[in-house]
Amino acid sequence: MKTFLLPHLICPACLPKECQLVHSIKAEKDGDIITGNLTCTRCKCNFPIRDGIAYLLQHPDGGPSGGQWRYEESDTIDRYLWSHFADLAGDQENAEANKAWASCLATQTISAVDAGCSVGRVTFEMAARGGWAVGCDLSFNFIKMARRLARDRHLIFSLPLEGNLRESFRIQLPDAWPTDKLEFVVADALKMPFARNTFQQIASLNLLDRVSYPLAHLFEMNRIANLKSSSFLFADPFSWSTTAAPEELWLGGTMTGPYKGRGLENVRSLLEGKGNILTPPWKITRTGAVSWKMRSHCNHCELIKSPFLIAER
């Protein structure tokens, strides 16, 4: 974990109290902590840094639970690498979607966070806009792969071509993408390990319908965003499922309850100040939808449409 993150970290186990973490470095190289610990000054919980990866979870030694295991499988990782970076390997199937996401980001930022970053495309795009950027995900292998790409600036992976045949892809990062102020950490989007008002740019893409408490995720994103001069890129396909969250916690897709109707409309209302849950309120400056693909083999892709909004304050 790069040392530039240290002043911005808090204990996720103590939330909603924001308690500082103190660091103990065992091995460091060029501003990157290879091995060490982060310890809460209040609850004394230890958060390890192993092989450069910081585990900033409420229970840092716990393993993946529920459906989270599938995000650790090699085939799943390769499919996400294709979705995020295939255009950098010469396959333009998802290029327009990646351009669309990039165009939704603020043109210049001081600090940025990508919640549920997966293998990190949007985080890389954020870092290219100046300042520093951090991507967070529950998947250790997603974070491991994103850090490896940031370190080496290239990566080779493969996907099924047909049957047992496979096709290889070589990602090469553009020279214009800096990685010195870019980091990826294992963290929970419901308990973000960052102090309030830290970020000028925040993003939550295709995550809300996958967390166990969607409203808590929006609350966390609002907490860590700057009170002024901040931008929020939010998108989701709203594929609500009880495997992720009980129906009473959905923010859409139901006929009754406080969040009946369509998800995007409810998220918009919350951001604009409904119930004074997310304060200060945001102003919606742009809406739309991006269609993107996940590949199984060369002749089979899943098409997902994600409505989005951009909010500013």
For residues 299 and 221, state if they share a domain. Answer: yes
For residues 14 and 159, state if they share a domain. Answer: no
For residues 128 and 217, state if they share a domain. Answer: yes
200: which 2 tokens?
């000028």
Selection from 56, 69, 61, 1 nearest residue 187 by Cα: 56
How far from chain centre, in Å, is Cα 212?
15
pTM: 0.94
Q: For position 71, what pLDDT does the model report?
A: 74
Query: What residue has token string 């995000």?
Result: 71
Specify if 69 maps to a domain: no
Specify if 224 maps to a domain: yes
Beta-bridge mates of residue 203? 114, 233
Choosing from 62, 94, 115, the residue where a domain stops is 62
**DSSP character string of 113-174:** EEET-TT-HHHHHHHTTSSEEEEEES-HHHHHHHHHHHHHSEEEEEEEEETTEEEEEEEE--
Q: For position 284, what pLDDT does the model report?
A: 98
How far from chain centre, in Å, is Cα 94?
19
169 touches 158 (CB < 8 A):
yes
User: Residue 21 sits in which domain range?
Assistant: 1-62
Q: For position 61, what pLDDT does the model report?
A: 64
Q: For position 108, what pLDDT does the model report?
A: 87
pLDDT in tens, 97-137: 999 999 999 888 899 999 999 999 999 999 999 899 999 99
For residues 128 and 248, state if they share a domain. Answer: yes
Q: For position 62, what pLDDT does the model report?
A: 59
For residues 18 and 120, state if they share a domain. Answer: no
219 touches 279 (CB < 8 A):
no
Show the low-confidence residues of the chain (pLDDT under 50).
Answer: none
CA separation for the pair 236, 158 (Å, rounded): 27
For residues 54 and 80, state if they share a domain. Answer: no
CA separation for the pair 222, 241 (Å, rounded): 24
For residues 217 and 252, state if they share a domain. Answer: yes
Considering its fold, how many domains does the chain have in total? 2
CA separation for the pair 133, 180 (Å, rounded): 10
